[in-house]
Structure 1
Amino acid sequence: MRSELDLELVSLTKRYGDTVAVDAITHLFHAGTYACLLGPSGCGKSSTLRMIAGHESVTDGAILLGGRDISRLQPALRGTAMMFQSYALFPHLTVAENVAFGPRMRGVDAKTRARRAAEMLDLVEMTALSDRLPAQLSGGQQQRVALARALITEPQILLLDEPLSALDPFLRVRMRAELRKLQRKLQITFIHVTHGQDEALALADEIVVMNDAKIEQAGPTRDVFEAPATAFVARFLGSHNVIALPQGQIAIRADELRLRPAEGARLQGRITAVEYQGTHVALTASVAGNQDVTALLTDKDFFGAPKDVGEAVGLDWDARAARALEA
């Protein structure tokens, strides 16, 4: 069932001269969804986000919010807000002044914008630092201020352009949990651009995988991960092997592969690498067709019958674990 806050891209296209950055993509984002646009650099995901925000012009196609075409409206009139990768805070303004800047530019009176800024800072747990300048904040604190500044406009859709990329790995994990918690509390649509598979899997209700200016596959996060449709999606999501067999190409999750004696196994090869990863061991083998495949074993299974580089090995899997891939 359609909602008045659903966002729909209809044959959305962006060209820069002869270069096609986004190639006639069509997709419906349901209201209240946390969606991740996932893909490698240059695939078109940031251009798509910027067109939704109004920071990039649309070459062809339309952007519909609740059935209304917003693709030619100014950014402030779209019902969207964008949080940039760099956070783009004003260095000479305090935290509170940064958050209140948007309402100030729209002529909101001082008392109202101060109250709204205080509410937003409370939402992102930054009230105690409201008088500080951006240079006096950590990366995570700056991100919270940027979020508050975007949310004070009361957007129907929040657009996030690689918002975690500037953070260290530990803080990145912590902040993605905060983003998810905030989205659930606000119940508005978040569209988040990332090239990090772990980030998308941890955050998103829905993943839209982009490749070469097109949507390669889209759907609920677990569905896309469990059943990649193409070799690109299987490889990009990680944790999958793409294996060419005489009857076609299949994807098998690394944790679904089992070690067997070489004789009688579906695949035979030689171990080329063994990597200890704490709770798991990743074992890579070279098999027929000069293909590398990786099996992810529990540390208990591996150390119960350890293997070494150069050993012959067989690899097998349950029939249900193999996913046929599109040509």
Structure 2
Amino acid sequence: MATRTSNDLELVHLTKRYGQTVAVNDVSHIFPPASYICLLGPSGCGKSSTLRMIAGHETVSDGAILLDGADISHLPPARRGTAMMFQSYALFPHLSVKDNVAFSLKMKGVDKETRHARAMKLLDLVAMDHLADRLPAQLSGGQQQRVALARALVTEPRVLLLDEPLSALDPFLRIRMRAELKRLQRELGITFVHVTHGQDEALALADECVVMNNAVIEQAGPPRDVWSRPRTEFVARFMGGHNVIGWDGARYAIRADEVSIAAIGLPAAVTGVEYQGDRVAVTTKTEAGEEIVSLVPEDRFFAAPINPGETVHLGWDQGRMHRLEA
């Protein structure tokens, strides 16, 4: 667990139950301040329930949520010091871009001139000030997302919560918006907590990856540590890029790009070949029934192509094998 400071967002034995179903099970974790956090895991792992409890959109069954040392778990969403950007953006269709961004300030009784000035400052930050008078229906998906982001930031939250914000965008725009989110987080110097099921998205954005499975945190740490040194078989498989094999009575992860097609080695039958641009994924099954993927550089593969049904030999440096704890 991270070292505690005065500005942390902290979960303390946090639990969420829906009847007999436990969605989040006794989770304790400190999110370092002014960092980009990605909560990731498969559907139903508890990541969205965790985010919604932090936001105040779900009640806490047990435990506490601390921000700057104060328990915010029983405060209404508007008094928590957090703001949430929803997956659907949830813009008001009858309001202009500027009035959408200023809406929460209007509800707080802020005068029109002040709230519009604040809205325009945020729209400038997300490069949408030139479209301030348009309606949401006149914007592209990426533009609507920028407006939703400005609206979430207008209240100057200490923590911004993002619920799969890139899932509705096409792949090209998704990559572009990743860079924009990271830039904004660095410029604003606040904590972003971003829920995603995309491993690539988390690796690209996060200062800390928090991998959830079966209602608990399975592993948390810097992206490179989580990806290259998975603690469990689940994390190794979920984060991708690894094979999990049995060896001398233990379970090990070996990166797919460390497995080579060799003249001698472990015999395996080729079950699939997938071209991936700069490399080719060759999926095999060993005599023991284990599936092992080898990522072969594209030029090397096409110099000696391999087809499904053929038998190959697999080799790797045993020093690159990573022993799993579970």
TM-score greater than 0.5 by the shorter chain: yes
Deviation at 1:259, TM superposition (A): 1.5
- Can you list the C-alpha shifts for 1:92-115, whole angstroms capped at 9, x where unaligned? 000000000010000011111010
Deviation at 1:215, TM superposition (A): 0.7
The more displaced of 89-98 and 290-299 is 290-299
Aligned to 2:308: 309
Deviation at 1:305, TM superposition (A): 3.0
Deviation at 1:126, TM superposition (A): 0.2
> What letter is aligned with 2:273?
V
- Can you list the C-alpha shifts for 1:213-259, whole angstroms capped at 9, x where unaligned? 11111111110000011111111111111112342111111111112
Residue 21 of structure 1 aligns to a residue whose secondary structure is strand
What stretches of structure 1 move > 6 A for 4+ residues in a row?
none
Deviation at 1:5, TM superposition (A): 1.8
Structure 1 Cα separation of the partners of residues 33 and 141 of structure 2: 30
Aligned to 1:291: 290
Unaligned runs of at least 5 residues, structure 1:
none
Structure 1 Cα separation of the partners of residues 248 and 255 of structure 2: 19
Structure 1 Cα separation of the partners of residues 319 and 84 of structure 2: 42
Residue 57 of structure 2 aligns to a residue whose secondary structure is coil
Deviation at 1:157, TM superposition (A): 0.4
1:11-90 residue pairs with structure 2 within 5 A? 11-90=13-92
Deviation at 1:292, TM superposition (A): 1.4
> What letter is aligned with 1:223?
D
Residue 177 of structure 2 aligns to a residue whose secondary structure is helix
> What letter is aligned with 1:91?
P
Residue 168 of structure 2 aligns to a residue whose secondary structure is coil
Q: Is 2:271 the counterpart of 1:272?
A: yes
The answer as to whether partners of 2:24 and 2:46 remain within 8 angstroms in 1 is yes
> What letter is aligned with 1:282?
A
Residue 73 of structure 2 aligns to a residue whose secondary structure is coil
> What letter is aligned with 1:80?
T
Residue 160 of structure 1 aligns to a residue whose secondary structure is strand
Structure 1 Cα separation of the partners of residues 88 and 47 of structure 2: 17
Residue 4 of structure 1 aligns to a residue whose secondary structure is coil
Deviation at 1:33, TM superposition (A): 0.9
Deviation at 1:181, TM superposition (A): 1.1
The answer as to whether partners of 2:4 and 2:30 remain within 8 angstroms in 1 is no
The counterpart of 1:236, out of the listed 235, 238, 260, is 238
User: RMSD in angstroms over aligned alpha carbons?
Assistant: 1.1
Aligned to 2:280: 281
The answer as to whether partners of 1:64 and 1:71 remain within 8 angstroms in 2 is yes
Normalising by structure 2, report the TM-score.
0.97
Structure 1 Cα separation of the partners of residues 248 and 6 of structure 2: 49
Deviation at 1:303, TM superposition (A): 2.3
Structure 1 Cα separation of the partners of residues 188 and 106 of structure 2: 23
Deviation at 1:278, TM superposition (A): 1.2
Deviation at 1:122, TM superposition (A): 0.2
Structure 1 Cα separation of the partners of residues 48 and 181 of structure 2: 19
Aligned to 1:94: 96
1:2-17 residue pairs with structure 2 within 5 A? 2-17=4-19
Residue 181 of structure 1 aligns to a residue whose secondary structure is helix
Residue 100 of structure 1 aligns to a residue whose secondary structure is helix
Unaligned runs of at least 5 residues, structure 2:
none
The counterpart of 1:176, out of the listed 178, 181, 192, is 178
The answer as to whether partners of 1:5 and 1:156 remain within 8 angstroms in 2 is no
The answer as to whether partners of 2:56 and 2:76 remain within 8 angstroms in 1 is yes
> What letter is aligned with 1:190?
F
Structure 2 Cα separation of the partners of residues 326 and 108 of structure 1: 54
- Can you list the C-alpha shifts for 1:256-309, whole angstroms capped at 9, x where unaligned? 1112124xx2x2211111221111011111113212111001112222333222
Q: Percent identity?
A: 65
Number of equivalences: 324
Deviation at 1:22, TM superposition (A): 0.4
Structure 1 Cα separation of the partners of residues 70 and 87 of structure 2: 28
Aligned to 2:319: 320
Structure 2 Cα separation of the partners of residues 80 and 5 of structure 1: 13
